[in-house]
Each structure stands twice: as structure tokens, then as C-alpha cells.
Structure 1
């Protein structure tokens, strides 16, 4: 008989949370909060990245132009799923555009490298909401903002703000459909199951996995009253 008290959620402090039937851990699947230590990157619990190339520097693989102390931030919510090859192109990838050439001459001059970085405009932060799925080799451009529950198709190029629970595809990425109707989206954002304690999430996994918004909302009301 299954242990009803068992919490099926993996420990968010685990580096490699995916365990095969033989007991071995998949080295390609990592909880990003446990492998990224970067002052400009914030990642929520249970957000994972899968990359069969096994990068040594996950921050560098995902956000290659975001240097420590850059004027912008990359913020990723909880329970996101990020596929191999995804990249966040932050504003610090820009070149100067005020002169006659966009060639970054000062980058190759150690005495002027610091002034080059300081001359770049303050870019908008790149934000990924909770429970987003970003497909293989998708690119998020400077200042992109995903709402909660967004699905980004493989190799999509995302600019601007994407609404909650949209599915986007293409270059530039366009909304191809919404996952739920407006009333259901409003309910999901109010419920915000991703912010619940892990024990409550575990108790309600069957409802989260079923996709019945009303049932989850009703159960949340019951839990709140208790």
C-alpha cells in the first residue's frame, strides 16, 4: 500500500533531482538554483534545466552576456522547465550605436573596457514567471517578460511581454493559442499553487496534473478554511 504521507516532490536543494529506476541520477538535469551562483540571476525552487552537453558553467550557458554587476537582472520563477540550448540575450550584449560604427573598439583596450560597459544603456530585466516551459534553443531577447504558465516553442525568439498561460512560437514569437480561458487564468493566478508549501502541493498534485482549474480552486478553498 502506498504511503499517503510520502511527499513526491524532490528536494529543491538537490543538484540532480532526476533519479532513474536503477537509482542513478541524470547528470543532465539540474535544479538551477543549486548550480548558479551569480549576483544578477535569481532562480526559484524546483526550476530545472536539461542539457546533455553537461556545461560546467550553467549561468554562462543560459545568459552568456550577463556579467556580474551588470545593470540588468535575469529572474526566473518556480517550477520552470528549460530545455537545452535556451539562451537569454540580455541588454549587455548590445554594441554602441551613437558613433559612426557599432564595432566595440574599446572592448579590445584593457584601459577602456570598463568605460565601455559603463556606457551601455540600462536595459530592462528579463523575467520568467512561474511554471513556464521554454523549449529547445528558444531565445529570449533583452527585456523579454514571460507571464506565469507560458509555453515557448522550440527555437522561438521572444521579445516584449507575453501574457500568462499563452503558447508562443516563431520568430518573432507570436501567440498561437491560450491554454485556458480568461476566467480560468484569473483563478490560477489567484490560487498561485507554485507558492504553496511543498506539503500542500504534494497533497494536490493529482488536481494540478488533471488540469481541472475549478477542482483545484475548490480544494484550495477547503484547505484555506481548515
Structure 2
């Protein structure tokens, strides 16, 4: 049970606002070992977020071994869908029809290793990523930290850190910050700080003064060195 007197939300308790259960931290709700979700990443759904791994992660079959990895402090809007590698069809022959799964002798000649070799690998979402309503993430995509994915976007290729992407297929429309600032933010990596440190400097994280946030980061690193 979450300590309601705690100054920090508990990432291992699903409902940061007990009376408002349409959004929840995903980490304590996930049961599939092939799905990894970091601290404080949440999913919002008015029908309830508890079935995320069944309703929003599709064609995810154990025999393929592909993983969905979501970092810390990600915000997933209603209807975000991850299409995993099990949705793919064998494209090495003249037809893509899945004869092999139909039974009744049609499985003859089906080579599971050939099918697995076409897997695009793990789907990876970085840290501090905001994915808009009904966006679709295709198999094997890597989404960089700090990224914003627009509502309804179809993301079929990798997205760089701190990009804003929209459309079908999704394409970057601009970067959130210049290259130098992005490098500084990735070096700061505030999403990996202890929660007490994040709470202490939360207003800096929410603000726009990177010099101040960088100074806090260096002070924190200094305490680790002593």
C-alpha cells in the first residue's frame, strides 16, 4: 500500500492519485518478462490502464524473444499501440500468406528459424518520452530520450533524441533543442537520479534553465566521488 504521507510517488504502486485511476505507473502492472518499464512511466486510459500489456502490446509471442523496453518518466496517452515482431509475415517466398499456421498439413515446409531471422529486434523507448494518443510504434524501432510522438503517428523508423515526430509515416518536424543542449541534457540524465534528488530539483527539471540543472547534476556527481 502506498504511503499517502510520502513526499514522493511510489513507482512500485500503480496509482499515484488513488482517486483517479484512469492513469497508472506501468512498472507494477507488467507481468510479462519480455516487457520492461522504468520507474514513473505511466499509461492513461479512461477504460483503465491495467490491461496495457494485453491491449496495447500486440503480436508479442515468446518464441520470437523480442522485448519491449520503456525507460523512466515516459508518458503514454490513450490508445498507444506497440506492434511487435509476431505481426510480421515471412517475406522470403513468393507469397506472404501464412500457410504454416493454418494446420491441416499446411505447416509442412514452414521454417521457424527463417521466420525468426526476419525479426527486427527489440522495441526500445528512451527516457522522458511523451507518446500521443493512438500513436502506433512498429517492430524494432528505437525512440530516443526526450522525444515527443504526435497523436496518431505511425513510427516505423528510429527517432533521434529530443525530436518531435508526427504523421504517417512519422517524420521529425523539428528538434526540441539545439545539438549542444541535447548533449548536455543526455549527460545530465536527470531521469536516472535518485528520487530524492529529483524531488529536490524538480522545479529545475520542469524549468528551462539548463545551466542551473547542470550545476545540480555536477554537485550530485561530486557527492558520488567523495
1: CA distance, partners of 2:126 / 2:50 = 26
| CA 193–71 in structure 1, closer or farther in 2 if over 3 Å, else same | same
What TM-score results when the alignment is normalised by the length of structure 1? Answer: 0.87
In structure 2, the partner of 1:158 is 155
Question: Which of 199, 203, 225 lines up with 1:206 in the alignment?
Answer: 203
Q: For 1:127, what is the secondary structure of its paired residue?
A: strand
Query: Which of 90, 94, 103 pairs up with 2:97?
Result: 103
Q: How far, CA to CA, are the matches of 1:56 and 1:194 in structure 2?
A: 24
TM-score for the superposition, normalised by structure 2? 0.87
Structure 1 counterpart of 2:184 = 187
| Equivalent pair of 2:34/2:68 in contact (CA under 8 Å) | yes
Say whether the 8 Å CA contact 2:56–2:82 is kept in structure 1: yes
Q: Secondary structure at the match of 2:89?
A: coil
Deviation at 1:122, TM superposition (A): 2.8
Match of residue 44 from structure 1: 38
Determine whether 1:17 maps to 2:16: yes
Q: What displacement does 1:110 show?
A: 8.0
- Asked if 1:30 is matched to 2:24, the reply is yes
CA deviations over 1:50-106 (Å, ceiling 9, x no partner): 111226532121211112342311111000000111111112101122334322122
Q: 2: CA distance between counterparts of 1:135 and 1:110? A: 43
Number of residue pairs aligned between Structure 1 and Structure 2 = 215
Q: How far did residue 40 of structure 1 move?
A: 1.3
Partner in structure 1 of residue 220 of structure 2:
223
Q: Which residue of 2 aligns with 1:3?
A: none
**Equivalent runs, 1:44-193 vs 2, <5 Å:** 44-54=38-48, 57-109=51-103, 112=107, 118-120=113-115, 121-193=118-190
Q: Structure 1: state its 5+ residue gaps.
A: 1-5
